[in-house]
Structure 1
Amino acid sequence: MADSRFAPARSGRAFTGPVLTGLAGFGALAVVAARDPHVPGSWGTCRILSLTGWYCPGCGGLRAMHDLLHGDVVAALSSNLYAVGLAALGLAIWLHWTASVLRGQPFMLRWLPERTLVLAATAGLVLFSVLRNTPVLGFLAP
């Protein structure tokens, strides 16, 4: 008898997660593509920046996604390098998840343990937050 982990998915329930996640992501990106965050005040202001004068890790993230969706990769990287990297990683994980469901296999990130991924992303976020607020690496600021 064949191993059930490798049998094609038979129920529509298996597709629910990737489909709903894809639809939510597409909807969010459609809104960001349609509403230009380069216009001052169009998305509000960053509370951390207004209170502390420091750029938070998300500052420039909406501008980066907007630029990326309009094909301006250089401007996207200039707005928020970390957000572009996270978007690429998120897309890769979603594609892997969808492919796993289509093949009827369990979804696993074999190339990097989940805990390691979370710790690396958190450490990267903290490091990026500090470095983008230093004079030496000011080019990381939005």
Structure 2
Amino acid sequence: MPDVNADSQHRATGAPSDAGSMVGRLAVPVGILAAVAGAFAYVGTVDPNQPGHYPVCPLLRYTGLYCPGCGGLRSAHAFVHGDFLTALHDNAAAVLGYLGFAVLWTVWVAHAVRGRPLRIDPAPALVWTLGALLLVFSVVRNLPFGGWLHP
């Protein structure tokens, strides 16, 4: 019969009780990273600059306006190939998103290793600020002086 008291002591000190629990805690973050890496590998292999591989943005097709995601696939393709200036030019917001994902994923893994759940509870002001920044990005890239933000 397992010693329940010893298991409680391991949890209280922050030490993992066994390697199996560590694998279980890291399974989801590693799975998410594998999915993202697979998506980036696909976009890195299948060039979005060549027509016919990906659908055209419906907003761009029907209105001629760039949405916040326009150029995101081209940005990811350039990012995978190490062309960071082109990636920024194609979609600067997407590049910031890639970097934000990397930071958040790293924090998630650090929490998982320590056996602590990751709570993401952004303040409403932060959510509204990020939304406003995306809106400003979208508007500026569609104005005549925002041509440098066109993908």
TM bucket, shorter chain: 0.7 to 0.9
Are the counterparts in 2 of residues 33 and 66 from structure 1 also a CA contact under 8 Å? yes
- CA separation of 1:79 and 1:30: change in aligned 2, threshold 3 A: same
Instruction: State the match for 2:86 in structure 1.
Output: 75
Instruction: State the match for 2:148 in structure 1.
Output: 139
Question: What count of residue pairs does the alignment treat as equivalent?
Answer: 140
Structure 1 runs (4+) greater than 6 angstroms displaced = none
Say which is worse superposed, 115-124 or 94-103, in terms of deviation: 115-124
- CA separation of 1:103 and 1:18: change in aligned 2, threshold 3 A: same
How far apart are residue 100 of structure 1 and its match? 1.3
Q: Does 1:94 align with 2:102?
A: no
Larger radius of gyration: 2
TM-score (norm 2): 0.82
Instruction: State the match for 2:74 in structure 1.
Output: 63
Superposition RMSD in Å: 2.2
Point out where structure 2 has 5 or more consecutive residues left out of the alignment: 1-8
Q: Does 1:118 align with 2:127?
A: yes
TM-score (norm 1): 0.86
Instruction: State the match for 2:137 in structure 1.
Output: 128
1: CA distance, partners of 2:127 / 2:15: 30
Are the counterparts in 1 of residues 79 and 87 from structure 2 also a CA contact under 8 Å? yes
Q: Which has the higher helix share?
A: 2
Point out where structure 1 has 5 or more consecutive residues left out of the alignment: none
Find 1:28's aligned residue among 26, 39, 42: 39
